[in-house]
Structure 1
Amino acid sequence: LLPLCRLASLSSLPPSPSLLSSRQSLCIGHTQMFLLLLSLSFLVPSSGMSRVCNEVSFSSRVASWRELQRVERIAVASTTTAFHIDFAVDEDSFQPLLETNGLPLLINSSPSHDPIWTHVDILAKSLRLRRIFETNQEDEELPLVMLTICESGSPILSFDDSPFKVDSIEAGLVSISSLLFFSSAPQGDILIAQCIQGRVHVIFDFGSLTPSSISGGRALDDGKWHDLRWIHQFDSVQLFIDGVLANSTSPSGLYRKLDLNTEIWIGGGPVDELSLPLSPPLQSTFRGCLQRVLLNSIDLLSLAPSDMRSTCIMTSPPSLTLFPSSRAIVPFSFLPFSFEFRLVSTANEFISLRNALNENLVLITVDASNSFVLTSNSTKYTQKSNPAIHVADGSWHSFSLKIRASRMEIEVDGITILWLEGTEVRSMSVNLASIVLSASGCYRSTTLDLQGIPTEGKIERGTCAMTDRCTPNPCVNGGSCVQSSLQAQECKCRDGYSGALCHLTDSPRSCEEYFYLKSLNGRKLSKKEKKVVIDVDGGEPILPFTVECSIRPNEMGEDTVITRLSHQLANPLRVTGITRAGEVRVDLNYRIDITQMEKLVDSFELCSQLMRYECKGGARLMTWEEDRSPSSWYSTRHDKQGLQWGSAPPFSRMCPCALHSNCTSNKLCNCDSGLDGVDEGNNTYSQLLPITSLFVGGTTSTSSVAVSIGPLICQHKLVFETVTFVDRDSRLTGQSSFQDGKMVGEVSIGGESFEVKNTKKINDGVWHDIHWEANSLGQRLRVDDEEEDDHRLIILPRTLNWTIGSRSRRNGIGFAGVLRNVYLNGNPLPLGLIAREENAMGIFEGEKGKCLHHDCSNGGRCVDHFDCYSCDCSLTPFGGDRCTRDHSMWIALDSSLSIPWQNPSQTSLCHRLAIQTASTNVSLVKSRSLFGEASFNLSLTTTGRLSIAVYDGISLRKSQTFGPLNISNEITHDISFCASLSSFKLTVDEQIAFNIQGNFSFFKSFNVWHLIDEQFTGCLSRLQIGSSFPLKDPTTSRLKVKSKGDLQYGRCPSPVPLVSSPFIDSFSESSPTPRHPSTTGLKIGMESPPGSPSLVSITGILGVFIICVLLFVLASLVAYMRSRPEGVYDTNEVSSYPLDHPKCSPSKSDGALVEQPLHPSETEYFC
């Protein structure tokens, strides 16, 4: 049935007139001007109906027709890619065309004249295209709109409490049984539709005498046309309002067929004849307009009496919309003061009664429970609404203020909820001058001049600018929707959920994610088994459930995350006595449903369940009695029978021992031999897991069996597999369904792009947790704990393709790094599995970077960029791309270096320097505390031996000399020393020179350093004082240089091979033993100072030799070119090519260089 109606919307009218009824069959009711379409999806088409349809097109954004037309499909050709559609049943009364989810229908245009059709079903006199993003009107290009329209054929009927009835047999209506499975009794079938306080209620019964109800919609009594469809498909009943799925339910009882009565009433009916009590109460009449009422494709309005009016006469009351912080001032003139209102769900001031001095007399506010509260200004008396009516629910409500003598009454929806009495009321009736409306929402009245009253702030006259964002409820996971403003909503989420639509869960998606989150911030990770609530899809629609998580070593000794799901059968199931095959049934309860099982098992590479069958007294498993059928089996999550045991192939009627040919008596199971035995094994076939039921039997009075089923154990989460992108032009692609998370999230639609950026750097070589979401209210990007939001209305694109990595496979601007645990709309993307299937180039399983084989030398840290690497030399005294550059200084006589006061952040217990000198009896390092007496001196003796002197400023004095090695032998020696709480150690060329026991932690207080005294001549390099490197960064290290002689940075002689002495990259303060990298990795390049005769002579000889070689090569090339025969060229011609085939790149010369008259195909060009 497809009825179309338009109804009155004034509070003075009956609140809920009935539209259509069938005794024991059908009734439709409404209280407003609206379009009602009651559509039964199983209707039987009538051969007597015919329609005239046409294809039309126009180049405009608005199309109109003289008569009402039925629009069946729409296509748009335009360079702008997306539009919204508005339609009007009346002149200029446009309303948006919506999808079933309540969002505006998106029309994607085609850039060519090949149409992309969108199927709709609306009645309209006018259509209007609206771009989803505004453009410059001067540059606007008119789109080409193509439509398929059909004649409506239905007249418009106006009802004024005067229904009519239709003979269902004469009209050709039969029992609706073509798509149903059950028959129905001839009595008790009803279908009733009515509108009460702007909400549609449909009551139906298919003969079970237990009526069901479905309702939907809000504020439908707004004087506009509305579309209603009621659809029944066996066990499903759906209600659509204006094309939006408002509600759905299942019918009660066993019957699924609607039998129509012989009489169908439209616009009312004899509801008193119904014997069953119904809720809500039925209305007997209807006042408004109907346009289309179709039942079994029969147009019932065409069967209306000829004397009924065919013109809809309906007046719309004046209306007003108040935005936040605005108000309307209504001068008081008469009582009762009445109007209708529709409010936003926020606690604020609703109405105030004021005197001529603009002072409040009475104030009515909306409290947190969305009920009215009255406050008297003179007596400070406060009264709450009784009964408490929810006035901010988005529906229209009536308000009436009455003052009679000494009593004031306030009515809402015809019910007195607030009142005042006494002399205060008498005084108020005399002094009342104006009534101020200040709550954000819509107002309408037939008695108040809302078009001409004074207002303040932002308002809109003549329309209600509130858009219901909470019908249907966009909040998921039990979240409640609240209309927070005229055009927006908020979702109040239950505990454990968050996000704009309550679609995010606080629970981890898996045990792997749980342990990862626990390991953040350096927290110690416990590997013991614990119960964890996980949400496998990260929000909705699958509910969270509890599993047991642990970390155990696998066969290779590697830690593996184990997910375990247990059932209630902890002890073996023992069956004795005489039983038939499968007689004893036990269901295993995992406390999750089938959808949760599917999602859990399918997300792992390996799941297993231990199965054990122990038989005694001759009980058999797979060969019971003469027919040799199984005596016991199990069922899977798909209710399939499992006819194998343990690791045997599915449905093979075998046991694990048969796979190794070691079953007792050469049977297929140990328990088929007639002897006592055990069949045991792990079932690893995911399609058979988990085991949901056991069917055990086949025992006798002398035999017994014991069956054990272990918990479901899963490991190797597919989505948690890591994949490494080592090529920025590589990518992975796939398909997924999309519904209504320095990182950049971008949404592009209709030629517009919207971005949200996070400022946190993520190219630091550590794991980051990234969540990006986009919905109709905006975008949110969270990186670890930092979050950025972009609040704006967004039309989400409809695409099924996703790409991870490079967009275009060129330019090298794609992603390089490691990914894991990727979810898209709650669906896991197993990138490791996808990479294996696609065999994608530049993408590898696991965490594989370029630092596995690097040549960062001298303790440099390799920084992995995954498609390349770089070397971080900041913690070493070396520099260069590969940390091979040795920062050094040539020091002449009368020169010295010092650090007058070291930065406190650079003080440390470990230090280093390398020297090459022939000087003796000189000081190398002198250090002391600026505010203490502690000191340290490292020097060379007169024989070139290394000597130290230490004083802690109190009592400890140590002096020692290292005799075996002469430092003053003009060979570079690497000296490192480190102090700790228990010892002092100094090494020379990686050999321990001093190892003194004692507390040397006072080295931390040294902040004044004198390096190299004025008697020293030689080279100084690899200098490290604490965590500073004075030769590498003199400014930051506060290095002061005093020189009267030749002092040059980076100029040191190297007459003999240098001794490998790598930098000690770190010293532990708790352990004085330094950690040295391999000496084979030391790479140093140094230059000779001016005046070094050996290097100068070698360089000169080598330069002369190279010049001679170059001159010889040049002379040979010139001689060859001069002697080359004419006509011998390297060309691109191929004689077998067609005559018109190009022989070179598009940059060939305009004319031919050589033309062959006899062989035109061999014409030569310069390319």
Structure 2
Amino acid sequence: MRKGQASHLHHLPPSSPQEPFPLLPSQLETFVGNVNSDDVIPNKLSHSMRTRFLRFVPVDWNPSNWLGLRVEVYGCSYKSDVADFDGRSSLLYRFNQKSMSTVKDVITLRFKSRQAEGVLLHGEGQRGDYITLELHRGKLAFYLNLDDTRQRFSSSCVAVTVGSLLDDQHWHSVIIERFNKQVNLTVDSHTQHFQTQGEGDSLEVDYELSFGGIPLPGKPGTFLRKNFHGCMENLYYNGINIIDLAKRRKPQIYSVGKVTFSCSQPQLVACTFLSSSSSFLSLPVASAIMGGFSIRFQFRTWNPDGLLLSTQLSPEHQRLELLISNSRLLLTLHNFGQQLEASAGHRVNDGLWHSVSLDTRSLQITLTLDNEAASTIEQWEQLEARGSFYFGGCPPTGFQTPTLAFQGCIRLIAINSQPVNLNHIQQGLLGNYNELQFDTCNIRDRCLPNLCEHGGRCWQSWTSFSCDCSGTGYSGATCHKSIYESSCEAYKLIGSSSGFYSIDPDGSGPLGPALVYCNMTEERVWTVLTHNITAPVRVQGSSLQKPHIMMLNYSASAKQLRTIITGSEQCQQEVVYNCRKSRLFNTKDGRPLSWWVDQGGERRSYWGGFLPGVQQCSCSLEENCIDMNYFCNCDADIDTWANDTGVLSYKDHLPMSHIVIGDTNRTGSEAIYRIGPLRCYGDKSIWNAASFYQESSSLLFPTLRAELAFDISFYFKTTANSGVFLEIMGHKDFIRVELSSPSVVTFSFDVGNGPAVLSVKSHLPLNDRQWHYVRAERNVKEASLQVNQLPLRFLDAPADGHRHLRLSGQLFVGGTASQQRGFLGCIRTLTFNGVTFDLEERAKMVPGVSSGCPGYCSSSSSLCHNSGKCIEKSSGYTCDCSQSAFGGPTCKEVVSVSFDRESSMTFTFQEPFSVMQNRSSQASSARRESISRAREDVAFTFITSQSPALLLTVNTFSQQYVAVILTHNGSLQIWYHLQTHRTPDVFSPILSSLADGQIHRIRIHREGKDLYVQIDQDIHKKYTLSSDAELILIRSLTLGKVIRRDNFQEEVLLAGSKGFIGCLSSVQFNNVAPLKAALLNRGSSLVTIRGPLMQSNCGALADSITSKNLRGNTHPQPSQAKDGKESNDADSNNFMSRQLVTTFWQPAATFWEECWEHCPCNHAVFFYSMMKVCGFRYISYRPKRQVTKKH
């Protein structure tokens, strides 16, 4: 095909005789034409097309503002062999020999059907091989087995499914291509490649292949599964035209039932209800012979709710409604203020056709769905319809209902057994309608292809789709963003301590998260990946002919391991090797007797501690081998134990995947080895930076693939007022992220729907020489922009707009293609879809740009800890700990406060009014921008011996709450009450008591429905909430005792009434550190304190409680109390009070000596005064009882 004469861009929609010129955006194919009158631009169709009508639509002007069209189209004649199957027939292709064995197969056919079920192809062998292609629930399911088994159609047999809504009475093409285990299955333009399981390569089919069904041997007309009902065209099996053989009555073909060779399938006329608010179809009531009425019809939809049918009844003041409610059919009879209901079905919004029958005769209303048992509503008198039947919604003059109208397709309507001709409705001869489309069902499967990434589950309605990211480790509209940090180094930067963590080394890339241990006890942060062989292994009796081979399986995949190793500064793996009369390399011909295999499958014969490529051990480098004639201790071949332990540290060869030992078969010969875990430190990407000194300078990288989704993240610091961080262009599409003013970051892009712009404005300038974080994301659902910890900004993608972002130019970092508005400053940690760009290496080759970034806060050294922010100064740096729960010069000092039973601290949030203001101003926007998403981060440390107890609660103005409590037995419970009309979600991560006088660290993180809980270092749990609703208008956070609140459940109220006796430290909720706020802002209106609340040291308190318990403290634990809960609380209170006296900042003896020396009387008020004299700091107190000196 070619176009000429000033044509630039054209659409080619498919056509048909029934509707010669439809214009459906999902089926358009676009071609670029020439831009002058001379050049010829050929375009080849991506798929062949069979059509009688063809239309070309010019859609864009050429650069000279001319629009013209000259087209030449080249085609070929089309041969068609068609067979019609009636649902009880099939064609059998019988082989010339008993069995057909193939290693390569090509099967092609076209089909159309109005049934969602039916077998198209089947063959099997006596050894268990089989091949089956069938329609199942409107999709093509393909079963293939090349191994000897009898698992045909069993629950363990997995089908590969392709396509959707294939029962639409349109032609669909199928291609099956197999070579050995590799298979391509293509339906229309959707191809799925897969590899069969097992060892077999050939397909062995006995006797015959059947097309259209699976007949049972010896039982003519009986079939194992539902037969295909529809037409097949041009059916080829390995080059053999099956239908042509059948038409010519060749002996290889045997026909079962009635198979005809023309497609006589009747076209079922349907209509589409386009709008959930204004679509309706009204039909007059036809008279019934026996009174009452009956209605039958078929429908299909994706929506879980919608009014299907309604009518007024006589006697008056009654009406009947049939609706879809929560994916079920619900029939409701409104009868003089009462409602009678009957329901049927489950998940009727699955996109398939469903048959409905409604009958009001015989003094009962009967509802039948598909082939299920009928549901009934009993009635006391005969009901008759009056007026009209309304399908979908109601006209403006009809009765109104709060339910959304049906949005979907309806066909085969019959009223009182009289079929309704939809063509008469369209011609105005019958009934009335609004917002309907006739003679078509415009249902679309928005989940094909599945645009949810990383295994996210796709859900859809009639107009949109959504992704369920539960259990994937990713979040966002399309499950694009990883919820995990990329490395242990990144976890440390946000204040985490040593423990097991899931890291996602390539972020939003294709690799999933891996579980590692992060060791943060040293100056370096070590990432530890374990394997399955942790204990020492003793080897005896092995030789080169029969060596000992051990394979190591790691806690991460090979690709994850390679990504972690590549991104680390250094990696190592210790090999502990002890030998007795067992050599490593001491042979006459130089062949090694033992070796190991790297992750790439290469044999390595150097040993731990030495350089690659040389058969030596660490003792050779250290010059301390047992026998200096050999380069390994084991090669001395002595009859006593020797050691060749060393560390493998060449990154390209790590980790070890196999170890092979081959010289332990002599008398007295043996070896013992232990392979340590893979250990890596340093994240090379975090501080990979470049400095830009000239506006015209920029770093260039190859073009990027970002058609359906991308994310860009980086840090920057600058003193400039504006500048472009990065830009990449296409023919018209583009991406640009820039500092548009000193306090505004702008993200703009165009995917063909016109430029889209997202901006985030900071309340503080961003050109302050400090590091600032930027993350921009775009997917087919929405775009988002985040700057630092400011609220996310969102922008919805237009419905049914262009999805594919087509980029062709290079990526400009720090500037633009025009060399204008370049960025001046530093950029670091630049990642695109999880891939980190090496800015430092590229900057070495570009003038005006240098590697690294000057300043104290531009290196990997941990100057500020626990999420503290490093602030550059003219002569040094300082740490901003405002976003951290810790204090001190470097944000390392723990902020701890002791509570008694009457103590509480409430922090009131200032944001609700501004949040309300932002949301209301944006509510009417067609392209919604939102400023928040459902996410919470909670962390705190506590120590107590009391239970029940309330540790923390967060409340909103909309009666939502989050509560963390200890139950009667001391176990932890987390309560999430997000929807006030439902019961709260309650989770118990650990059943053992945490009221044990020990320090416990709790971390809670929520992303939508996913809730992650960590207790101390060793307990990691994941839960799924019943709702992903956000906490709307957060009012306050409370620690300790809570006054009664009506929205709390009984268990939370009980824990709140008991308060909390113990010590809390390092409390953080999102970006708020309430304990630190209470200590630093005692007079603030945002902080409310009740009862004694004193700064403390939880660690010292834990040590004291532990020592007391070890010395045989007789005070009962909560679970041991004998006199009820109140006595238990009192004991705990007294016990904790005594411990507080001996554990605050000074040793016990010094405290008593100095405090009682200054104590003038025995009243509690003076006791608290003496606490202040002795170095204690307190916030408030309440006199409780008198004490005497002997106490």
Q: For 1:771 and 1:840, how far apart are their aligned partners in 2?
A: 26
- TM-score w.r.t. the length of structure 1 is 0.57
Q: 2:173 corresponds to which residue? A: 227
What letter is aligned with 1:753? Answer: P
Query: Could you report, residue by residue, the CA deviation over 1:208-228 in whole angstroms, capped at 9, with x for unpaired residues?
Result: 454354434333222322233
Q: Which runs of 5+ in 1 are unaligned?
A: 1-55, 61-76, 519-524, 554-558, 853-863, 871-1167
Q: 1:464 corresponds to which residue? A: 441
Q: 2:515 corresponds to which residue? A: 546
Q: 2:677 corresponds to which residue? A: 711
Contact 2:2 2:41 in 1 (8 A): no
CA spacing shift, 1:529–1:414, aligned 2, 3 Å: closer
1:323 aligns with 2:266: no
Q: For 1:276 and 1:771, how far apart are their aligned partners in 2?
A: 66
What letter is aligned with 2:325? Answer: D
CA spacing shift, 1:291–1:608, aligned 2, 3 Å: same
SS at match of 2:755: strand
Question: Which of the pair has the greater relative contact order for Cα pairs under 8 Å at 6+ separation?
Answer: 1
Q: 2:980 corresponds to which residue? A: none
Q: 1:448 corresponds to which residue? A: 420
1:294 aligns with 2:246: no
Q: 2:552 corresponds to which residue? A: 588
Offset of residue 155 of structure 1 = 4.3
Q: 1:363 corresponds to which residue? A: 321
Query: Could you report, residue by residue, the CA deviation over 1:787-813 in whole angstroms, capped at 9, with x for unpaired residues?
Result: 222222333233465414255555441
SS at match of 1:512: helix
SS at match of 1:513: helix
Q: For 2:57 and 2:525, how far apart are their aligned partners in 1?
A: 53
Q: 1:375 corresponds to which residue? A: 332
Q: 1:283 corresponds to which residue? A: 226
**Map of 1:755-774 to 2, 5 A cutoff?**
755-760=757-762, 762-774=766-778
1:724 aligns with 2:686: no
What letter is aligned with 1:405? Answer: S
Q: 1:141 corresponds to which residue? A: 67
SS at match of 1:119: coil
Q: For 1:409 and 1:753, how far apart are their aligned partners in 2?
A: 55
Q: For 2:606 and 2:299, how far apart are their aligned partners in 1?
A: 69
Q: 1:991 corresponds to which residue? A: none
Q: For 2:514 and 2:757, how far apart are their aligned partners in 1?
A: 35
Offset of residue 469 of structure 1 = 0.2
Q: For 1:698 and 1:277, how far apart are their aligned partners in 2?
A: 68
Q: For 1:92 and 1:614, how far apart are their aligned partners in 2?
A: 82
SS at match of 2:443: coil
Contact 2:539 2:671 in 1 (8 A): yes
Q: Which of 811, 815, 840 lines up with 2:846 in the alignment?
A: 840
1:674 aligns with 2:637: yes
Q: For 2:634 and 2:221, how far apart are their aligned partners in 1?
A: 64
**Map of 1:590-629 to 2, 5 A cutoff?**
590-615=554-579, 617-623=580-586, 629=591
Q: For 1:627 and 1:810, how far apart are their aligned partners in 2?
A: 65
> Which range is displaced more, 206-215 or 711-720?
206-215
SS at match of 1:597: helix
Query: Could you report, residue by residue, the CA deviation over 1:286-308 in whole angstroms, capped at 9, with x for unpaired residues?
Result: 33x44432332344444452795
Offset of residue 202 of structure 1 = 3.7
Offset of residue 197 of structure 1 = 4.7
Q: 2:612 corresponds to which residue? A: 650
Offset of residue 243 of structure 1 = 1.3
CA spacing shift, 1:383–1:134, aligned 2, 3 Å: farther
**Map of 1:850-861 to 2, 5 A cutoff?**
none
CA spacing shift, 1:332–1:195, aligned 2, 3 Å: farther
Q: 1:351 corresponds to which residue? A: 309
Contact 2:313 2:384 in 1 (8 A): no
Offset of residue 391 of structure 1 = 0.5
Q: Which of 401, 406, 410 lines up with 2:363 in the alignment?
A: 406
What RMSD, in angstroms, separates the aligned Cα atoms of the two structures?
4.6
CA spacing shift, 1:631–1:412, aligned 2, 3 Å: same
SS at match of 1:514: helix
Q: Which of 70, 79, 83 lines up with 2:8 in the alignment?
A: 79
Offset of residue 394 of structure 1 = 1.8
1:273 aligns with 2:217: yes
Q: 1:987 corresponds to which residue? A: none
Q: For 2:614 and 2:543, how far apart are their aligned partners in 1?
A: 24
Contact 1:619 1:703 in 2 (8 A): yes
**Map of 1:135-214 to 2, 5 A cutoff?**
141-142=67-68, 149-156=75-82, 160=86, 165=91, 176-178=102-104, 190-206=130-146, 208=148, 209-211=150-152, 213-214=159-160
What letter is aligned with 1:409? Answer: T
- TM-score w.r.t. the length of structure 2 is 0.56
What letter is aligned with 1:732? Answer: L
Offset of residue 577 of structure 1 = 7.4
Q: For 1:253 and 1:569, how far apart are their aligned partners in 2?
A: 27
Q: 2:475 corresponds to which residue? A: 498
CA spacing shift, 1:788–1:276, aligned 2, 3 Å: farther
Offset of residue 781 of structure 1 = 2.1
Q: Which runs of 5+ in 2 are unaligned?
A: 107-122, 249-258, 393-404, 414-418, 712-743, 859-869, 876-1191
Q: 1:121 corresponds to which residue? A: 48
Contact 1:218 1:394 in 2 (8 A): no
Q: For 1:586 and 1:167, how far apart are their aligned partners in 2?
A: 50
Q: 2:804 corresponds to which residue? A: 796
Q: Give aligned pairs, total.
A: 754
CA spacing shift, 1:627–1:818, aligned 2, 3 Å: same
CA spacing shift, 1:514–1:652, aligned 2, 3 Å: same
CA spacing shift, 1:467–1:146, aligned 2, 3 Å: farther
Q: For 2:684 and 2:63, how far apart are their aligned partners in 1?
A: 52
CA spacing shift, 1:776–1:90, aligned 2, 3 Å: farther
Q: 2:783 corresponds to which residue? A: 779
Contact 2:80 2:233 in 1 (8 A): yes
Contact 1:158 1:290 in 2 (8 A): yes
Contact 1:84 1:96 in 2 (8 A): no
Contact 1:321 1:463 in 2 (8 A): no
Offset of residue 618 of structure 1 = 3.6
SS at match of 2:296: strand
Contact 1:758 1:783 in 2 (8 A): yes
Q: For 1:800 and 1:666, how far apart are their aligned partners in 2?
A: 62
What letter is aligned with 1:364? Answer: L
SS at match of 2:668: coil
What letter is aligned with 1:472? Answer: P
> Which range is displaced more, 574-583 or 472-481?
574-583
What letter is aligned with 1:326? Answer: S
Offset of residue 678 of structure 1 = 3.2
Query: Could you report, residue by residue, the CA deviation over 1:326-356 in whole angstroms, capped at 9, with x for unpaired residues?
Result: 2423333265412221123333434334326
Q: For 1:779 and 1:599, how far apart are their aligned partners in 2?
A: 28
> Which range is displaced more, 350-359 or 819-828?
350-359
SS at match of 2:347: coil
SS at match of 2:373: strand
What letter is aligned with 1:294? Answer: Y
1:507 aligns with 2:484: yes
Q: For 1:220 and 1:366, how far apart are their aligned partners in 2?
A: 24
Contact 2:814 2:824 in 1 (8 A): no
Q: Which of 575, 594, 599 lines up with 1:632 in the alignment?
A: 594
Q: For 2:44 and 2:406, how far apart are their aligned partners in 1?
A: 44
Offset of residue 765 of structure 1 = 2.9
Q: For 1:441 and 1:628, how far apart are their aligned partners in 2?
A: 77
What letter is aligned with 1:755? Answer: V
CA spacing shift, 1:375–1:257, aligned 2, 3 Å: same
Q: For 1:678 and 1:418, how far apart are their aligned partners in 2?
A: 80
> Which range is displaced more, 159-168 or 598-607?
159-168
Q: 1:534 corresponds to which residue? A: 503
Offset of residue 85 of structure 1 = 4.4
Query: Could you report, residue by residue, the CA deviation over 1:237-284 in whole angstroms, capped at 9, with x for unpaired residues?
Result: 444332124x66554565443456776655x45713389999x95234
Q: 1:691 corresponds to which residue? A: 656
Q: Which of 828, 834, 845 lines up with 1:826 in the alignment?
A: 834
Offset of residue 507 of structure 1 = 0.9
